[in-house]
Copies of this chain bind each other. A is one copy, B any other.
Amino acid sequence: MFTLYDFLDSGNGHKVRLLLAQLGHAYELVELDIMQGATRTPEFLARNPNGRIPTLQLDDGTFLAESGAILWYLAEGTPFLPSERLARAQVLQWMFFEQYSHEPYIATTRFIIRHLPEDSPRRAEIPDRMKRGYDALAVMEKHLATRRFFVGERYTIADIALYAYTHVADQGRFDLSGYPNVLTWLGRVKDQPKYVPITYRQPAGG
């Protein structure tokens, strides 16, 4: 059985928990409090030297890090990842877009607002991060004007990757009302079979 090292409030973790649920995989969840340094202990750094959740331990004991790599590993050979070469590259295009042009702005703004003190100097980063977050939302809005999902008109791990922090962007004070295609797509993802919310904790024992 897989062991998932995770923090429930993390959208990067939600990506993995959502796909595990939709694939019907049982797993042991080990919750780590990233605010208390639980991912920077020698014990955890031996599992993931980059000190980040989510990290998935596979059945053979291997630790796999980076939400995008974990999604790819789990989705291979399932309907959540297309088999055509170009469509697969397009899935990766959106997953890299999410990690480079979306997450550092939308997720990080949400993190600063939810988890750092009111007087944190990092609050000064918010205006620039919000601007770039809206830039990412505009790219998504345009793409979704003529599409139901990000790649190949079907629900894939590209949608899972982009959904995770977009659907909680309001917790980072983003206003999505000007992005109607994004809002409709968020509903489409939430309507997928076996959907679980970001706060979902699999019952002990799978």
Interface residues in chain A, defined as those with a beta carbon under 8 Å from any beta carbon in chain B: 49-50, 52, 58, 60, 62, 64-70, 72-73, 76, 85-86, 88-90, 92-93, 95-97, 99-101, 103-104, 139, 142-143
Contacts and interface: CB of A to CB of B under 8 A. Distances in A.
A85 B76 contact: yes
B96 A66 contact: yes
A69 B49 contact: no
Contacts of A97: 50, 65-66
A84 to B, nearest CB: 11
B100 A143 contact: no
Indicate how many identical chains form the complex: 2
Given A69-B90, A69-B92, A99-B99, 9 more contacts: A50-B97, A58-B86, A65-B97, A66-B93, A72-B89, A72-B92, A73-B85, A76-B85, A100-B104
Contacts of A86: 58, 60, 62, 64, 73
Contacts of A143: 49
A89 B64 contact: yes
Contacts of A96: 66-69, 95-96, 99
A192 to B, nearest CB: 23
Contacts of A99: 96, 99-100
Contacts of A58: 86
Nearest to A101: B50
Contacts of A88: 72-73, 76
Contacts of A65: 93, 97
Contacts of A73: 85-86, 88-89
Nearest to A138: B49
Contacts of A64: 86, 89-90, 93
Nearest to A56: B89
Given A90-B69, A96-B68, A104 B101 contact: no
